[in-house]
Chains A and B, each alone.
Chain A
């Protein structure tokens, strides 16, 4: 990377503290934009398809999926691992980067954390509905019962999943919500009536005193410390679903680190996708700047290269193992009926991120957006390849079979994307997508004098002064008018 990348400002446009509050809160306080409605329309349509597909499948049976006696998992667990992986970037950004005091995280951590929550929700759907009898799903919890010695099987990686995912969800949710409190208080202070009351409850009566802030920061650090091991543990546990089975292609020591790095890789790709959209749609160009994008690109190159290394290691170990079954699985991946999936995965995950070495690519937002999507597709295929190509041809040639998903299965996957984007759009509409108080801490220009001059009256509870919106840019004003016109159409 060039040195110039390092020096890029994190926030551009000469933002004042008041600008930050205004820029983040105004879109929430105004009505929905047409862009938002359009997005919501697609998201809810996809969700509706998913609800139908899943409802039909639960009513009729797993047979409505394309699975068979040999391939017992297909799209279901692929989607599960994919969504869990997506979630990882959020935790990494909010927890690990907080601990390492990476300032560039401030603009994106809120959205990334929200993404984590929604991705984990999407992920959790699949293990639930992939059960033959999902109405008995609560049996996977070791709850006290009067069925004698009936208990869960602590040797099963699926059970570890239950604990890993639920822990992950609870910690992520807590961390995210705790992070929201000061911003909710800011929003409360700008609101009236019922909205103020609700936000008042939601922000737990935050007052923003120095003592509160001190304790708050300690709590954040503690939660970050709690969440950090989860970055490693959750996907390691998910990988154990495969690594603890005897199936060649699953049974690999490499899996925990391989899955974790893959998760970070896919998660950052998804963050990049979302940030590029949010930046455009919500006009956050000044908050999600080239500095952020560059930082994410670096992580993508780094993790993508490690993912490539993992693929090579798998191949090497298969060859080195001298096990004919291991060797066959990889030969079959590369040359068998699902070779197209393998090579899609390989080119998307190993070759495409290497383009990010080039500054021109990094700076071309369209290309960056496409690349982030490509990586997401590649990472989805990685899970598909691992799951399906390993089991569709295992030990006994008599049982080899294929796998073709049905529309019901595809519908469930589309539905999970629908759910994800519905949640995300709702969050954009009702919550502060950028952590205002954190961004304020990284503003490059002290603007207090100018703020005072413009005659602010109230004290912003988030610690900064509450300010009137400053029409520092004509461009923004025009945009604001556009938005209000769109809102007026309601």
Chain B
């Protein structure tokens, strides 16, 4: 990177003026500011700007650092919208020198509450992906946008001339201004727009259309739900708005008030959501329909006051549980809700009916301000596949989706399309087949807006000068329509014409917009649709119920990778799956009984086949707790084209196992096994044959042992349970608020307390009741602290580098599984065992209670890691490759990149503490409580992590530590950790609590 001295004369920092807090669009012509922005982007630009003609004209900084002048080396925040999935959460991008280095949830965003999931956190790395295409390509040859436009105009003219058909296939379009351009473009050329979602919610949308005459998903306001009945709905992990739903769910999971929601889960494979349930039962996919039918029968009996009678429950294993649940749902009607996964239309209809009976609409489920995050229509996509097969599509435009990979019917029919134009930003399964690739920019490079929920807009603005020569779908379509507006104008005009009248509140539009850009969000509180009425006529009979003993294949998305869109992101590939803790692979999951029956063990290869699917899948076995015995689970999102780029990601040494060989992919694509049944793309209907084949593939799992109970044969009589993670039940907690916290004797100290804390005393508390294990914090920590990716082989050797890990413990057996998560990071012990053993004083204690690791001084004896009771220290076994110069732009300049041979660990984001202290010092004030947010804390959707100053008795962390649920892990060692936990409480009657810590 150039130093300022080497810069051209006009770019010298001396000429730069500090900019005012908000930059208004009218001022964009100020030359010195433009010069500044060019310079600010020069770091990126010098590396990648070769083919780029445009730079962002201006950006508005977000409020957290609004008073900071834009100075090289000084970070600033830009509010934007995450497009990692269609949830469109509001984000703040922390930028330095004209490039984003970290994404955080936007606390001003009403619907998300300010968290950010792992996928969102990882998007900053995707931005710097060197495999993105630089400008339009025709059959693999580079073209200019002018060439592309004229070719496309000619093509469109030709098609219109012969009255041909144009189809635009997209994922859910979250941007209304893009939708406007799509509409006007298709109106002009007479085409059709088809949306589908790789992780489809089509059945639910269709059911809502049937019962409420509106094809939207409801906003699920779990903060109003006292009883949640979920049938396979993974709303905390991979639902349509997991951050929002996690925050809402957590609001009712605070046992200190004495009241918690009751969360029931019936599911075939273990999900993040299921693990958190108060009562979880295994349910085969085929049982869901009779279970809901039975539930509905019970509810209607209750509503009529007649005797409860549910013949449908005969087809269900856990009929009694459903009866108990029905009673709870009914007694909390108005505050209870039934949620269903599975994309089965009949089931969704029944669920809607149950919710209507329970009075969920208008309360927990909001259709007046609905979610717009999923709009995909499976039937329309299937119809498109038929059209393609028949050769009736002359031009197929594909944007924001990858049907050749994740939509088997379209994938098979793509050859029938006349011309395919892809808007993908890379060569993927679909764009490989396209004549033209017209790459869209990354969302962190572009302007726009999204409306994830009705009446709430999230604005995105560029955080960096475009790294590659892309153009948004919106602008491309406008250009073809003869509309010469710039991308930004298209978005601004939509905001001016549609949003401003609803939400403007009298201010001038320019002021309104500037403020909105700064906040990143606009709300129109009064904008509501009418609460649609329930149309009972839509309900059809469930049909004949029958017993089904077949073994079904259940395809599921993983947290992070989701449907596979993020398979090129190494952070997400190396994120331990919150359920299995396995990385870099998909696998076939079996229950232990099922595996025993088949005679397979963990890592054995099995071949899955199915009567009506060509081909087989060969996958390693993973034995998964809490899985139904007649179900084989396989994760979607793997087997992506080009993932062999990671073949050489891991350190290269004599005994290293190659992750994969060139030409192979990470995992296997399971999408061809999706089944289009009953008008929806189903994940759980295929009957599967399992055959054991020779071979073994050890899975890279970050956790070897999954229980708090030590192995029986090594435990004293009666067993031994490690009480590092304390759990209890609500009844016990209310009766005796410290219930579940083991009674540790007060530590007796022979020595005077010589740990003086003259100033701050940093501490952290994690509420285990609301930690869902979603792992947003893990990726956030990785991004903030430059944690390296080490690859599959190294993880298999137990050398993952994450500073923050989530320990996951199973309690109970498969039928009553209770999953507990414990985020584990450096505990910054006051009597730190690691500090006394280091021969060279490379790890020392600060006067503010932090355990500091001095990389420069570390000689790497690993003595500290051995003696750490929490095993949170991470050693640099190799020089981890940092060869990707693009990816290196995502490094946080405030945090050292560690070399091999040194120890590292959680610093409690020392750089953030320092930054806040410096700011407070400059302004002559004390650091306010909550001013410093560690990366993990910021990211947490459920706000399970609290960080602050124990010296301030009023701080949130002091109050939490003084609470009855507070305990410290391994307190009996008298290491005096600065991290505490709040006992995990489940809303279970005391007698049912089987496994307490």
Which of B707, B873, B877, B900 has most chain A Cβ within 10 Å? Answer: B877
- Any chain B CB within 8 A of the CB of A152? yes
Q: Which residues of B have CB within 8 Å of A397?
A: 705-708, 710, 722, 809
| Complex partner residue of A61 from B714, B841, B900, CB under 8 angstroms | B900
Contact segment of B386-394, B689-697, B794-802, B889-897: B794-802
- Any chain A CB within 8 A of the CB of B32? no
Interface of chain A residues 95 through 143 with chain B (CB within 8 A): 127, 130-134, 136-137, 139-140
- Any chain B CB within 8 A of the CB of A481? no
- Any chain A CB within 8 A of the CB of B720? yes
Are A131's CB and B860's CB within 8 A? yes
Interface of chain B residues 703 through 725 with chain A (CB within 8 A): 703-708, 710-711, 713-716, 720, 722, 724
A139 to chain B, nearest CB (A): 5
Binary interface encoding of chain B residues 843-883 relative to chain A, with 1 for a CB under 8 A from any of its CBs, else 0? 00000000000000111111101110111011111110000
Are A399's CB and B973's CB within 8 A? no
- Docked Cα-Cα span, A353 to B861, in Å, equals 35
Q: Which residues of B have CB within 8 Å of A152?
A: 839-841
A187 to chain B, nearest CB (A): 42
Give me 8 A-to-B residue pairs in the complex whose CB atoms sit less than 8 angstroms apart, sorted by A's number.
A64-B654, A69-B874, A72-B865, A130-B862, A136-B859, A244-B836, A327-B716, A394-B869
- Any chain B CB within 8 A of the CB of A224? no
Are B655's CB and A407's CB within 8 A? yes
- Docked Cα-Cα span, A72 to B838, in Å, equals 14
Interface of chain A residues 308 through 345 with chain B (CB within 8 A): 324, 327-328, 331-332, 335-336
Given contacts A68-B797, A250-B867, A391-B866, 4 further A-B contacts (CB under 8 A): A66-B797, A73-B862, A153-B840, A401-B798
- Any chain A CB within 8 A of the CB of B970? yes
Q: Which residues of A have CB within 8 Å of B874?
A: 69
- Any chain B CB within 8 A of the CB of A246? yes
Are B867's CB and A246's CB within 8 A? yes
Are B704's CB and A61's CB within 8 A? no
Are A151's CB and B713's CB within 8 A? no
- A399: nearest chain-B partner, CB-CB: B871
Q: Which residues of B have CB within 8 Å of A73?
A: 862-863, 866
Which of B720, B840, B902 has most chain A Cβ within 10 Å? Answer: B840
Which of B716, B799, B833, B901 has most chain A Cβ within 10 Å? Answer: B901
| Complex partner residue of A64 from B653, B720, B858, B870, CB under 8 angstroms | B653
- B866: nearest chain-A partner, CB-CB: A72
Are B901's CB and A133's CB within 8 A? yes
Are A132's CB and B862's CB within 8 A? yes
Q: Which residues of A have CB within 8 Å of B900?
A: 61-63, 132-133
| Complex partner residue of A396 from B715, B807, B860, B878, CB under 8 angstroms | B807
Are B860's CB and A245's CB within 8 A? no
| Complex partner residue of A408 from B654, B705, B808, B903, CB under 8 angstroms | B654
Are B839's CB and A132's CB within 8 A? no
Are A159's CB and B867's CB within 8 A? no
Are A331's CB and B838's CB within 8 A? no
Are A63's CB and B861's CB within 8 A? no
- Any chain B CB within 8 A of the CB of A214? no
Which of B713, B724, B797 has most chain A Cβ within 10 Å? Answer: B797
Q: Which residues of B have CB within 8 Å of A246?
A: 833, 867, 869, 973, 975
- Docked Cα-Cα span, A332 to B711, in Å, equals 9
A residues contacting B by CB (< 8 A) are 56, 60-64, 66-70, 72-73, 127, 130-134, 136-137, 139-140, 150-153, 155-159, 162, 241, 244-247, 250, 324, 327-328, 331-332, 335-336, 391, 393-402, 406-408
Q: Which residues of A have CB within 8 Å of B865?
A: 69, 72
Q: Which residues of B have CB within 8 Å of A136?
A: 859
Are A68's CB and B798's CB within 8 A? yes
Closest 9 CB pairs of A and B: A132-B860, A132-B901, A63-B877, A72-B862, A398-B807, A68-B798, A399-B871, A133-B901, A158-B839
| Complex partner residue of B857 from A66, A134, A139, A328, CB under 8 angstroms | A139
Are A61's CB and B836's CB within 8 A? no
Q: Which residues of B have CB within 8 Å of A150?
A: 841, 857
Are A63's CB and B860's CB within 8 A? no
- Any chain A CB within 8 A of the CB of B22? no
Q: Which residues of B have CB within 8 Å of A156?
A: 836-839, 863
B881 to chain A, nearest CB (A): 12
Are B841's CB and A153's CB within 8 A? yes
A390 to chain B, nearest CB (A): 9
Are A132's CB and B858's CB within 8 A? yes
Given A133-B901, A159-B839, does the pair A61, B878 have CB atoms closer than 8 Å? yes
Given A133-B901, A153-B839, A396-B824, does the pair A63, B651 have CB atoms closer than 8 Å? yes
Which of A61, A64, A69 has most chain B Cβ within 10 Å? Answer: A69
Q: Which residues of B have CB within 8 Å of A327?
A: 716
Q: Which residues of A have CB within 8 Å of B969?
A: 396
- Docked Cα-Cα span, A247 to B869, in Å, equals 7
- Docked Cα-Cα span, A381 to B720, in Å, equals 28
Interface of chain B residues 772 through 809 with chain A (CB within 8 A): 794, 797-800, 805, 807-809
- Docked Cα-Cα span, A67 to B873, in Å, equals 13
Binary interface encoding of chain B residues 361-390 relative to chain A, with 1 for a CB under 8 A from any of its CBs, else 0? 000000000000000000000000000000
| Complex partner residue of A335 from B703, B714, B866, B879, CB under 8 angstroms | B714
B331 to chain A, nearest CB (A): 39
| Complex partner residue of A398 from B705, B861, B863, B973, CB under 8 angstroms | B705
- Docked Cα-Cα span, A245 to B837, in Å, equals 8
Given A131-B860, A324-B720, does the pair A140, B837 have CB atoms closer than 8 Å? no
A205 to chain B, nearest CB (A): 42
Are B824's CB and A395's CB within 8 A? no
Are B866's CB and A131's CB within 8 A? no
Q: Which residues of B have CB within 8 Å of A162?
A: 839
Binary interface encoding of chain B residues 927-969 relative to chain A, with 1 for a CB under 8 A from any of its CBs, else 0? 0000000000000000000000000000000000000000001
Q: Which residues of B have CB within 8 Å of A250?
A: 867
- A319: nearest chain-B partner, CB-CB: B716
- Docked Cα-Cα span, A246 to B708, in Å, equals 20
Interface of chain B residues 643 through 698 with chain A (CB within 8 A): 651, 653-655
- Docked Cα-Cα span, A216 to B157, in Å, equals 111
Are A398's CB and B840's CB within 8 A? no
- A147: nearest chain-B partner, CB-CB: B857
Q: Which residues of A have CB within 8 Å of B710?
A: 328, 397
Are A400's CB and B705's CB within 8 A? yes
Q: Which residues of B have CB within 8 Å of A324?
A: 716, 720, 722
Are B871's CB and A70's CB within 8 A? yes
Are A328's CB and B714's CB within 8 A? yes
Are A395's CB and B654's CB within 8 A? no
Which of A64, A72, A245 has most chain B Cβ within 10 Å? Answer: A72
Are B653's CB and A60's CB within 8 A? yes
Q: Which residues of A have CB within 8 Å of B975?
A: 246
Q: Which residues of A have CB within 8 Å of B901?
A: 61-62, 131-133
- B975: nearest chain-A partner, CB-CB: A246
- A65: nearest chain-B partner, CB-CB: B877
Are B862's CB and A153's CB within 8 A? no
A290 to chain B, nearest CB (A): 46
Given A131-B901, A140-B859, A396-B724, does the pair A69, B655 have CB atoms closer than 8 Å? no
A342 to chain B, nearest CB (A): 12
Are A132's CB and B876's CB within 8 A? yes
- Docked Cα-Cα span, A140 to B837, in Å, equals 12
Q: Which residues of B have CB within 8 Å of A335?
A: 713-714
- A68: nearest chain-B partner, CB-CB: B798
